[in-house]
Amino acid sequence: MTCFAIQTNRLRKVYQGELGQKDYVGLEGLDLEIPAGEVFAFLGPNGAGKTTTIKVLMRLLRPSSGSVMINGVSNTQHQSMERVGYLSEQPNIYGYLTAREFLDFIGKLFGLAPSVRRKRIDGLIGLVGLKDRDRTLIRGFSRGMTQRLGMAQALMNEPDILILDEPLSNLDPVGRKDMRDIILSLKAQKKTLFFSSHILHDAEIVADRVGILDHGRLVQTGTMQELMGSGLKTIEIIYSIPEAGESVLGLSRERIVRQGDRTLTWTENMESAQEILGKLLKNGGKVFSVTPQRQSLEDLFISRIRG
Amino acid sequence: MKWPAIASLTYKETIRNRILINILLFAVALIALSLIIGDWSLGEQAKVIKDFGLSAMSLFGLLIALFIGIRLMVQELEQRTIYLVASKPVRRWEILFGKFAGLSLTLLLNVILMLLALWAVDWIIEKRIDFELAAAVVLIYVEILLIVAFALFFSSLMSPTLAAVATLAVFIAGHLSPILRDYVQLHPGSGLKKLYLAIYYIIPNLENLNLKMAVVEHLERPPHAVGMGILYGLLYLSFVLTATCMIFEKKDLK
Ligand SMILES: Nc1ncnc2c1ncn2[C@@H]1O[C@H](COP(=O)(O)OP(=O)(O)OP(=O)(O)O)[C@@H](O)[C@H]1O
Ligand SMILES: [Mg+2]
């Protein structure tokens, strides 16, 4: 039997309603199978249940039914977390500690020896770019700095599996780049990565496979190619042409968008695009851009969730 | 064993939490009182200082145990700092016990410093150190630990405010519980006898941990009062902590 890095079996989570309120089904029949070494992007709109899933994986919430296996070990056992690194959504960290003190504490929770902790802390502080703030109190950290420290603590045990809840949010452009670089280097090290996001661009760059969650149910999973391959492609052309030449192109009215002297049109395939371009040039038109539009994950996402 | 790491963190957190101010306040109050009663006879002065000192220690300890004890876990959940801890290869009970042990250490330091302050002021009056005070203080400390355990227990079941009320109720009922027992013995036909007895047996008898009067008045203590008090307190404590761990074990950390 092959053993998945992360496997869930008919996972269901019901949030018990407080006095007088109705119960809320946060997850329903979730089956996930993430092989070792895969980068899996867990996508879904706000409130889809991504954080709920991750908290169940991390033993913070108990599933109402179903089970979770991490590297073949049930996560009801605390030892299953030995090789896992976890970054929570918008992490909060004890304000009365310094970054160093916190990482040392986390190292102790993993049962690491003092010398190992010291060496790893030095490396991680550098990796996440907190070198000159490692001895100041976390109380004074910005969200982005806390996020960086959160990433450092997730790597403290040199995990094989990383479970990251919205690792790229709360960061400025530099922070996003740094974090994405870290994720890419983890991918290069063949670590299993499971990360949630509602920003699809993040997934497009790093993920091998994507799962789309909505209202607590997995509505689609597949590799990037599978999901994108089915996408309808269009080619956009932006041009300008003297008034008289317009009719020569033979474009239908609903395919013409004018903006000042520039016009946008689009077509479904390369052949007709080339034909239009030819006519344009012959009739004294100017071409500003030709852009193939593959269907983005964004579109797919919206069509899956609306549909 | 991961709980010592959590204990030392909790100690670090709580030790800077108004504890020093508390001790300062205690010392100032002691000194102020000793000045006010400065023209009383030495024996009376010593008695009043010791009585006040032990009572204040008990009260301060209770307040710290109550307020910090209830915040201890609640704060972790509210501020969501627990996520990065409970997701590590750590058993839930180790988190709870670590928290308890850390605060216990802070409170121990607190009680020791208060005892030293009391001894110092008493020395100025009596020119001798009354080691008997330590016996009463040991049991005060055990009582404080018991209150922390109840604060943790109630705060895992209800809102912080309700938990504070419930813990305070245990404290008060615990000191009244021998009265209930005596009442039942005096009025065996009382209709509420079963209820009174139930309360007597469920709520710890905190008077078992009260040697203040005996020490201050130099009364004869029941044999092994300190040893029995410690045993009674710790047994009860382990009971309450175990129950709290069982609740926490199953709790969703939302
Ligand atoms: N403690 C809770 N009690 C009751 N309902 C909850 C609780 N936590 C989450 N929910 C509900 O469960 C659903 C899923 O929430 P979850 O936080 O898992 O979503 P998410 O996909 O992570 O969203 P986001 O992108 O906003 O982070 C939401 O509708 C939310 O209201
Ligand atoms: Mg979320």
pLDDT tens digits for B82-114? 999 999 999 999 999 999 999 999 999 989 988
CA of A226, closest CA in chain B: separation in Å? 34
pLDDT at B190: 67
- Out of B5, B81, B83, name the one closest to residue A60 (CB): B83
Range in A67-71, A290-294, A300-304, B103-107 with the lowest mean pLDDT: A300-304
Q: Is the C-alpha dihedral spanning B139, B145, B151, B157 positive or negative?
A: negative
Chain A contacts to B (CB-CB under 8 A): 15, 55, 58-62, 78-82, 84, 86, 88, 91-94, 96-97, 105-106, 108-111, 150, 153
Q: Where are the alpha helices (DSSP H) in B41-192?
A: 42-78, 83-86, 92-126, 132-155, 160-186
DSSP string computed for A1-27: ----SEEEEEEEEEEPPPTTPPPEEEE
Atom index in ligand 1 nearest the CA of residue A50 equals: 21
- Report CB contact under 8 Å: A108, B2: yes
Chain B: residue whose CA lies nearest to A56: B252
Distances (CA, A) of B82 to A54, A184, B78: 15, 28, 9
- Report CB contact under 8 Å: B252, A62: yes
- Ligand 1 mutation target, pool A12, A13, A15, most atoms within 8 A of CB: A15
Locate A265 and state its tokens: 């049109």
Q: Which of A52, A73, A92 would best serve as a mutation to test chain B binding (most B beta carbons within 10 A)?
A: A92
Domain tally, chain B: 1
Report CA Rg, chain A: 25
pLDDT at A11: 97
CA of A93, closest CA in chain B: separation in Å? 5
pLDDT at B46: 82
Chain B contacts to A (CB-CB under 8 A): 2, 5, 9, 12-13, 16, 79-91, 250, 252-254
- The string of pLDDT tens digits covering residues B226-237 is 888 899 999 999
pLDDT at B227: 87
The residues pairing with A206 across neighbouring beta strands, listed in sequence order, are none
Q: What residues make up the domain containing B30?
A: 3-250
pLDDT tens, N- to C-terminus, chain B (254 residues) = 899 999 999 999 988 766 767 777 887 887 778 778 777 777 788 888 888 889 888 888 888 889 899 999 999 999 999 999 999 999 999 999 999 999 999 999 989 988 998 898 888 888 888 888 888 999 999 999 999 999 999 999 999 999 999 999 999 888 887 787 777 777 777 677 777 777 777 888 888 888 777 777 777 777 788 888 899 999 999 999 999 999 999 899 98
Q: Please give the mean pLDDT across all residues of chain A.
A: 89
DSSP string computed for B149-187: HHHHHHHTTS-HHHHHHHHHHHHHHHHHHHHHHHHHHH-
Atom index in ligand 1 nearest the CA of residue A48 equals: 21
Binding site membership of A211 for ligand 1 (Cβ less than 6 Å): no
For residue A92, list chain B residues with Cβ-Cβ distance below 8 A. 79-81, 83
pLDDT at A27: 95
pLDDT at B39: 76
Binding site membership of A24 for ligand 1 (Cβ less than 6 Å): yes
Q: What is the ipTM, given to two decimal places?
A: 0.88
The CA distance from B36 to B32, in Å, is 6
Binding site membership of A50 for ligand 1 (Cβ less than 6 Å): yes
pLDDT at B133: 87
What does the pLDDT average to over A62-90? 96
pLDDT at A133: 93
Distances (CA, A) of B67 to A208, B73, B137, B241, B244: 50, 11, 21, 17, 17
pLDDT grade for A267, boundaries at 50, 70 and 90: confident
Range in A82-91, A123-132, A142-151, A266-275 with the lowest mean pLDDT: A266-275
pLDDT at A1 over 60: no
The CA distance from B30 to B37, in Å, is 11
- The string of pLDDT tens digits covering residues B52-89 is 889 888 888 888 889 899 999 999 999 999 999 999 99
pLDDT at A228: 67
pLDDT grade for A231, boundaries at 50, 70 and 90: low
Binding site membership of A285 for ligand 1 (Cβ less than 6 Å): no
DSSP string computed for A175-218: HHHHHHHHHHHHHHTT-EEEEEES-HHHHHHH-SEEEEEETTEE
Residue type, B89: P
pLDDT at A295: 63
- Report CB contact under 8 Å: A82, B89: yes
- Report CB contact under 8 Å: A109, B85: yes
Residue type, B217: E
Query: What separation in Å is there between the alpha carbon of A289 and the centre of ligand 2?
Result: 39
pTM summary value: 0.85
Place of tokens 């371009």: A277
Question: How many residues can be counted in chain A?
Answer: 307
Locate B97 and state its tokens: 């016990």
Question: How many residue pairs bridge chain A and chain B with CB atoms within 8 Å of each other?
Answer: 71
Task: Select from A93, A58, A164 the least CA-distant residue to B79.
Answer: A93
- The string of pLDDT tens digits covering residues A111-158 is 999 999 999 999 999 999 999 999 999 999 999 999 999 999 999 999
pLDDT at A270 over 70: yes
